[in-house]
Amino acid sequence: MIKALPNRIREFRDRANLSMQALAERAGTSAPQINKLEKGERKLTVDWMIRLGRALNVEPRDLMVTDFPGSGMSDSEQSGAHRFDLPSSMSVSAVEFGKPDLPVRGRAQGGATGVLMIPTEQPAVDWTYRPPQLRGVPDAFAVFAYDDSMHPMYKHGQTLWVHPHLPVKPGDGVLIIKRSDEAIIKELVRRTESELVLKQYRPREEQFSLPQEEIRVIYRIVGALDLR
């Protein structure tokens, strides 16, 4: 069983003279996540490769190690490592999402006030790329993040991918649609029968509660894409 797969994140981070925290802020994540990715303790998925590639100003595919000299792995084990780490639709020579066919339904604000409306029955405001985890999910969609109140988890202007059927758990980024059709982006802390406890990061890190009776639906955010 493969427990860790080598990659070049640390190499490129050192070349750029960036700390884990600095890279995390550029990629819209946390330093512990960068540490896990560098060690191979977290799977280097396509969306992680794109986020980190842009943050490091390198081609996403260059973050992969396609040969494992000195690893002690046989040729068949190395081949298995490739299959384990890469989606079947992706080769080590290119990162390819195909045509943008995922609808962007609107913008969602990170802050606790001034939230924006998500068009529920209107045409898509834009179209974006569909990540591997949303392939075959016909009613999946995306939203644009608006403001930096959820930084470093999500940044202003990023496209956030939403899976409408996955269960949510503490620590997940979530898109909440209120009964008023207002939409907010938060991190889920815990969920009870009467309320959601949520977290935001800016202007200061804080938690607050939202009554369940105000919520129409809660969706799990499965990734972010920054095409700027």
Predicted confidence pLDDT, tens digits, the chain (228 residues)? 344 567 899 999 999 999 999 898 888 788 898 999 999 888 887 778 878 888 898 888 788 875 444 434 444 434 433 333 333 333 333 344 567 888 988 877 765 554 565 655 667 888 888 888 888 898 899 988 888 888 888 888 888 999 999 999 999 999 999 888 888 899 999 999 999 999 988 888 899 999 999 999 999 999 887 654
**pLDDT given at position 92:** 34
Q: How many CB atoms lie within 10 A of CB 145?
A: 27
Closest to 141 measured CA to CA, from 154, 122, 156, 155: 122
Q: Which amino acid appears at position 134 of this protein?
A: L
The fourth-level CATH superfamily of domain 9-85 is: lambda repressor-like DNA-binding domains (1.10.260.40)
Domain spans, the chain: 9-85, 102-225
**pLDDT given at position 141:** 92
DSSP state of 188: E
Which residue has 């990061």 as its token pair?
Answer: 201
Q: Which amino acid appears at position 110 of this protein?
A: G
How far is Cα 119 from Cα 103, in angstroms, rounded to an integer? 12
**pLDDT given at position 30:** 87
At the topology level, CATH places domain 102-225 in Umud Fragment, subunit A (2.10.109)
**pLDDT given at position 72:** 40
**pLDDT given at position 140:** 93
**pLDDT given at position 220:** 94
